[in-house]
Amino acid sequence: MKALISVYNKSGLLDFLKFMGNNIELIYATDGTFKYLSDNGIKAFPTSELTGFGDILDGRVKTLHPAIFSGLLSKRDLKSNNELKKYNYPDFDILISNLYPFSEAAKTGDLGKMIENIDIGGVSLIRAAAKNYKNVVVISDPDDYQYVEDEFNANREISMKAREYLALRAFSRAAVYDINIYNNLYQRLNGEEPDELFIHAYDGVKLRYGENPDQKGFMYRTEKKLGIPNAVQLNGKELSYNNILDANAALETVQDFDEPTSVIVKHRTPSGVASDASLSAAFNKSYNADPESAYGFVVAVNRKLDIETAREMEHKFIEVLIAPDYDGDALSLLKKKKNLRILRANMERDNSYAISSVSGGVLVQTRLNSNFESMDLKTEYQASEEQINDLKFAWKIVAHTKSNAMVLVKNKVSTGIGAGQTSRIEALKIAIDRAGDNASGSVMASDAFIPFDDSVIECHKHGITAIIEPGGSIRDADVINRANEYKMPLYFTNKRVFLH
């Protein structure tokens, strides 16, 4: 085999060439790579012997020459062979090339570094070799060395299937490289997001099915290394499409809380949320907030899961459990439940854009942030410190609850959650019904403005003591007057937290 080598990242190269040994009988390499190989005792020839020039323009041009690309693109038929012979150009059987580190340069924000790390020749080389994969093996990243070694050990040659795989990897890497250049340069030059959207997601996994058994489902990861797709599964069956949606909802909700907190989710909306000094108590309270809904549920906690909490979970029907980490004895106990999907997840919030698919396009927005600047008291009656804490707690929950949403909270435990209703008063009635006797003494949060005073009347009827809402209705005065009549503290956040 005749090889052409031009690499920026030289890790693993020497070991790979030693493995290939006499299977590669001739090597041409660009100046920097040639020096590196020669210094390490590997015989090679500089590409300047083919092109008639070394690196020029500070290395911007070194491989852009027919003597190089003819050897990569030759079809190996009679006509091609005769043309190469006419010009005394070699054909290449293997290309080893990787690209300048543009992404690393982009992190510096230095435009000059970004420009100089836009690879031209390298991308052209791997595209040419990938196009001609039937005749040329293309290795476009050090990660490929082991794959080729395994292939060679198994077959003593590089099979056509392996060539196809390597070519597709090369095209993928070139595409991602170009996406990174466009996205970062656009941001750097214009100071805003690109007017064309390019998304890179990788490691695609085929799921058993989508939301329903007749739908196909897939999961991909993004480079952020956050969220459920990048969590480590420690136990249980494979995650389903719906498991992932529910787990994401639970994770994003629990990330909003600083104290030890447990969030139970059914059908992408919380059914029970609680904070407490101990994680086991928080879990128990979140479960007992709505035990009827908490059957076959997803739960996320924001602390390392200890043995006490594991014992409380042991006899509950949990589909998916998410935590930042697990004590060894807690994990051993929970692993006895063979079907329980146990995930270790990064608790860092994902602040990248949220993207939703619609027929014919996609919607993109910044992620919902439940934080508000201030609680505006609108009535003559101020809430106690405990009520204020509960109002803030309820607000965090309602921000992660499907609209229309009303959430009741008492002592940092959700007592009733009404979600996904077409009528706001209906959502409140559901929350009150779920709370039962616990409605009395609770506070209430609404994810959008309260349009009529009927919600205040309903709250008063069931002993709800304070309300937090965005405000902004044309009937705000009616709502405020009714709250004053009942001596009920009412706060506006001046911020809506709809979740459709």
Residues taking part in catalysis: 131, 267
Asked if 330 contacts 305 with a C-beta cutoff of 8 angstroms, the reply is yes
CA dihedral (197, 201, 205, 210) positive or negative: negative
Distance, CA of 443 to CA of 465 (rounded, Å): 5
For the chain, the C-alpha Rg in angstroms (whole number) is 30
Closest of 388, 386, 408 to residue 271, by C-alpha: 408
The residues, ordered by sequence, that sit 6+ positions from 253 with a Cβ below 8 Å of its Cβ are 263, 265, 270, 273, 300, 396, 397, 400
Q: Tell the residue number behind the tokens 């928080």, with chain if given.
A: 282
Q: Quick one: tokens of 472?
A: 């902004």
Residue 10, strand partner residues: none
DSSP states of 338-361: TT-EEEE---S---SPEEEEETTE
Q: Which is nearest to 28 in space by CA: 120, 82, 80, 93?
A: 93
| Angle, alpha carbons 214-216-220 (nearest 5°) | 155
